[in-house]
Chains A and B, each alone.
Chain A
Amino acid sequence: QQQVKQSPQSLIVQKGGISIINCAYENTAFDYFPWYQQFPGKGPALLIAIRPDVSEKKEGRFTISFNKSAKQFSLHIMDSQPGDSATYFCAASQGYNFNKFYFGSGTKLNVKP
């Protein structure tokens, strides 16, 4: 059973537009929700993360929106740039159980110039 469901699988956005990627989870014990950015041939890099005690976290052009009651969280990329073209993974974990880091299936973002 997939612990974290991510959509869409791929996304094409024009430069300057808003990219939105959604994730949903079932396990209410999850208490840490990071987003990772991966460029081709590279390992994933932590982009931004949120804990369930806040509904939104913003870092530059990247914002996580978190809806605890709906068990959903999303990544918003404002003013999307071609350099943002990458694959994005959401994840969820519980406490300090690093071996229980569950990743979404990934979203390939293509920002058109």
Chain B
Amino acid sequence: GAVVSQHPSRVICKSGTSVKIECRSLDFQATTMFWYRQFPKQSLMLMATSNEGSKATYEQGVEKDKFLINHASLTLSTLTVTSAHPEDSSFYICSVPGLSSGANVLTFGAGSRLTVL
């Protein structure tokens, strides 16, 4: 599978500000990346599919204007949480899909803990 780097690992911001999270595929050119959100003690919820060179595909109920996704290159996708509010505090994780031994494999980044004060 791919090697995925996510930055920052932790970020604290004031309500109303915007925060950008980066996801890099270090050894694999990814035309697609996925962004997940995870609340404490809960499972991973797919937020959106990031597509290189085109618009992201958002899951039902995810505000596209709140969570801006940019996939400018084959190795970088960014998630910007705009006008963040305390309810946006969560653990955000990106993942890169790939194939290993004929199986579809999702490789996850280490995640970014966002705390909005």
Contacts and interface: CB of A to CB of B under 8 A. Distances in A.
A80 interface: no
Contact of A46 (B9, B32, B107): B107
Interface residues of A, number: 23
A107 to B, nearest CB: 10
Interface string A28-44: 00001010100001111
A74 interface: no
A101 B108 contact: no
Contacts, number: 56
Given A42-B111, A99-B57, A105 B104 contact: no
B105 interface: yes
B78 interface: no
Contacts of B42: 105-106
Nearest to A99: B49
Interface in B90-117: 93, 95, 97, 99, 103-111, 113
